[in-house]
Amino acid sequence: MKAVLGLLAGRLAISTLVLAGVSVLIFGIARVIPGNPARIALGPNATKEQVAKLAAELHLDEPIWIQYGHFVRDLSRGELGISLYTNRPVTTDIAQFLPATLELVLIAGILMIGIGLPLGMVAAKYRGGFVDNLVRIVSLLGVSAPSFVWAVILMLLFAFYLPLFPIAGRIDTEFAIEHVTGFLLVDSLIAGEFRAFGNAMWHLFLPAFALSLSGIGQAARLTRANMVETYEKPYIEMARSYGFPAWRIARRYAFKPSLIPSLTIIGLDFAAMLGNAFLVEAIFAWPGLSRYGVAVILRKDLNAIVGTVLIISAAFLIANLIVDLLIALLNPRIRYARSAR
Amino acid sequence: MTRMALEISDLRLSFEGITETTEVLHGISLSVAPEERVALVGESGSGKSVTARAVLGLLQSQKRVRMSGRIEFEGQDLAAMTSRQRQALRGSRLSMIFQDPVSSLNPVYRIQTQFHEVLKRDDPSISLEDAKRRIRPMLSEVSIAEPDRVLESFPFQLSGGMNQRVMIAMALINEPSLLIADEPGTALDVTVQDQTLRLMRRLVERRRAAVLFISHNLGIVREFSDRIYVIHTGRIVEEGPTDAVFANPGHPYTRALLAAVPRITGGDIPEIDENPSAYEAPRVVHAPAAGVA
Ligand SMILES: Nc1ncnc2c1ncn2[C@@H]1O[C@H](COP(=O)(O)OP(=O)(O)OP(=O)(O)O)[C@@H](O)[C@H]1O
Ligand SMILES: [Mg+2]
């Protein structure tokens, strides 16, 4: 366990450094995008004086490193400034929009792991056979089209032509769920509103599935490839020589050891869904952080851009951290690295 | 005549490739009596491992494998059994020890978990605690002084020799009537290999198991086995009691193998001269010593 904690501390330190680097980068990039944020915010009818006044309020007339200093000072107080788009603190906006995105991405992640890994395992068990080829074709399909294409296709098929699922939004308006965490699935359970929970799930399914399809394909392909390699290992033959049932060998002897190399990539895929969620959210009118992100970029809303990017980077890093932790827990070589005799 | 532990007659085996079929066993016949230790000796690629895997039924499920001939285990024809029946034999009546102990144990489970799985072959409901109670004396029989530390370990935390002893104990804990050892411990250094082979010998004697011992190291074979089969390119070229074969090797290939013995005391693969035409000589059979079936 000590080894795992040490590893965690190291990764945490690196993540903090990366986040600091990202903040500098995005801070600079946001400011070199052409256009004056004060002018965009005030509109074409504002006078020069009004624009200059707002720019001064936003410290836009000062050198960039001074501006960065202001940003760091705000950040240390847990603030990210005011959004010019919503006129509210950026932190308030993020608190409102992030849960919708996280809910979408988490469900998509669960689908990716819950469908992708078993598919890969079944394919590897029947490697070379019909099931294997079927899984390989299906997973290749999943990987070969970006998630927004799947979003459009799924929406047309299962929401438009066959109205099995809702076309847009997170929940039907008849349900008024008290805002506690912002996660509708959690809040509806807290309120004891199981119908609302079901309704939210129903809304989640299509966008989450669209978002997860390439991840499912990737996870299935990776699991299959790693398992097929593991099947050649001497310990598989030994397991066979002991007459263990084929499915037991598949799960305990071929799947588990191959999970370790697969996990890193699956973790990256999972984190990448945060970015892919942008277009899926746009298509399903999902009121998440991604839509907010697009809106603020178009308006050159500096504080909001920096805040959104930072949060998404942080989520990316946290996802990676969790994966590293899982790998350490699964792989005894890491878990016992320092206590080994 | 007593019932044989293992009786192979005219076993032919080939692998189907995309364009051609390669026959690797051209009619092997051999037998192992109960409690007998029989060695199968030959150079690399001669078909030793393939024979062992065929006996265990590990090749029959492969699509590319064509097999004919008869393999009888304790008088029962393996081909006549269902795959479920064959599977039931493995790990309980019939077990195998592999060449590389470290890579043959599952890297992500503790030794105790793997042992537990093996014991469940005979008693599916056995608890981990009961399993450990049965394993500890077995481990001390293979001279493992701290059984609990070993049981708690993962294979990578133990030395190669330790893993080898664990594998021997695992193979024998369900009291199989036939143990197949495919070049056990060739991956280990010579002294360790020697020690573990002694342990294995002691154990099979106590448990009265028959052994099919596969090796290319004639020094070890001489010490370990009662009888020898010499295999060359998928054919048995000479057979007989160990002493008789060593004293009076009849087949040119056996003579070449024996001539290479001084060079293999380090456990290396013998380097023998390429002399295939002379090796085509007919099979040499030494008369069994009096009293042996
Ligand atoms: N799965 C397979 N497909 C095709 N050919 C195979 C396969 N397994 C073994 N062979 C061939 O069968 C022959 C015998 O192989 P085998 O492994 O039995 O040799 P061996 O006597 O055990 O040698 P070694 O001492 O190197 O272990 C070799 O020529 C090998 O190339
Ligand atoms: Mg071999």
User: Is residue A252 within 8 angstroms of chain B, CB to CB?
Assistant: yes
Q: What is the 3-state secondary structure (H, E, C) of B125-180?
A: CCCHHHHHHHHHHHHHHCCCCCHHHHHHCCHHHCCHHHHHHHHHHHHHCCCCCEEE
What are B99's two structure tokens?
């060449």
- Asked if residue B219 is part of any domain, the answer here is yes
Helix (H) or strand (E) holding B6: strand B6-16
Q: Which domain range does residue B238 map to? A: 6-285
C-alpha span between B38 and B61 (Å, rounded): 27
Q: How many residues does chain B have?
A: 293
CA distance A39 to A37: 5
Cα-based distances in Å from A4 to A119, A318, A328, B59, B111: 30, 16, 6, 42, 22
B198 vs chain A: nearest CA distance in angstroms? Answer: 22
pLDDT in the model for residue A11: 85
Distance CA B94, CA B73 (A): 9
Is position B29 within any domain? yes
Q: Which among B103, B108, B157 has the least Cβ separation from residue A234?
A: B103
- Smallest CA–CA separation between A284 and chain B, in Å? 43
The per-residue pLDDT for A81 is 87
Q: CB within 8 A of B233, min separation 6: which ones?
A: B26, B45, B46, B47, B276, B279
% of residues, chain A, pLDDT over 90: 38
What is the domain class of A97-298 according to CATH? mainly alpha
- Is the separation of the CB atoms in A204 and A154 below 8 Å? no
If 0-12 CB within 10 Å is exposed, 13-18 middle and 19+ buried, where does residue A31 land? Answer: middle
Tokens (6 digits) for B46 = 């001669």
Tell which of A126, A227, A232, A238 to mutate to test the B interface (max B CBs under 10 Å): A238
Q: Do A238 and B105 touch (CB under 8 A)?
A: yes
Strand ordering across the sheet containing B65-73 = B21-32, B6-16, B65-73, B76-77
Question: Which residue among A332, A340, A341 places its CB closest to the CB of B108?
Answer: A332
d(CA B35, CA B201): 11
Per-domain residue ranges of chain A: 1-85+301-341, 97-298
Closest B-chain CA to A238 = B104
pLDDT at A340: 40
Residue B266: pLDDT over 70: no
Q: Which two tokens stand for residue A109?
A: 């992640």
State both tokens at B216: 């290319």
pLDDT digit of tens for each residue in chain A (341 aa)? 677 788 788 888 998 899 999 989 988 888 887 778 888 888 888 888 888 888 888 888 888 888 888 888 988 888 888 888 888 999 999 999 999 999 999 999 999 999 999 999 999 999 989 999 999 999 999 989 888 899 999 999 998 999 899 988 888 888 888 888 888 888 888 888 889 999 999 999 999 999 999 999 999 999 999 999 999 999 999 999 999 999 999 999 999 989 888 888 888 888 888 888 888 998 998 989 888 888 888 888 888 999 999 988 888 888 888 888 888 888 887 777 644 43
Which residues lie closer than 8 Å to B86 by C-beta, 6 or more apart? B57, B60, B78
What is the domain-level CATH number for residue B138? 3.40.50.300
Closest B-chain CA to A336: B157
SS3 B37: strand
Ligand 1, atom 12, residue with closest C-alpha: B24
The CA A237 to ligand 1 mean position distance, Å, reads: 15
B83 within a domain of the structure (yes/no): yes
ipTM of the predicted structure?
A: 0.87
Cα B182 to averaged position of ligand 2 atoms, centre (Å):
7
Residue A130 near chain B (CB below 8 Å): no
Tally of domains in chain B: 1
Q: Does residue B195 belong to any structural domain of this protein?
A: yes
**Chain B nearest C-alpha distance from A11 (Å):** 24
Q: How far is B275 from chain A (nearest CA, A)?
A: 33
Alpha carbons B243 and B222: distance in angstroms, whole number = 8
Strands B76-77 and B65-73 come out as antiparallel
CA angle, B276 then B214 then B166, to 5°: 155
Query: In chain A, positions 311-330, which contact chain B (CB-CB < 8 Å)?
Result: 330
Amino acid identity of residue A46, one-letter, is: A
- Chain B residue set in contact with A, beta carbons under 8 Å: 56, 58, 63, 87-92, 95-96, 98-100, 103-110, 117-118, 121, 154, 156-157
Three-class DSSP category at A19: helix
CB of residue B225 inside a 6 A radius of ligand 1: no
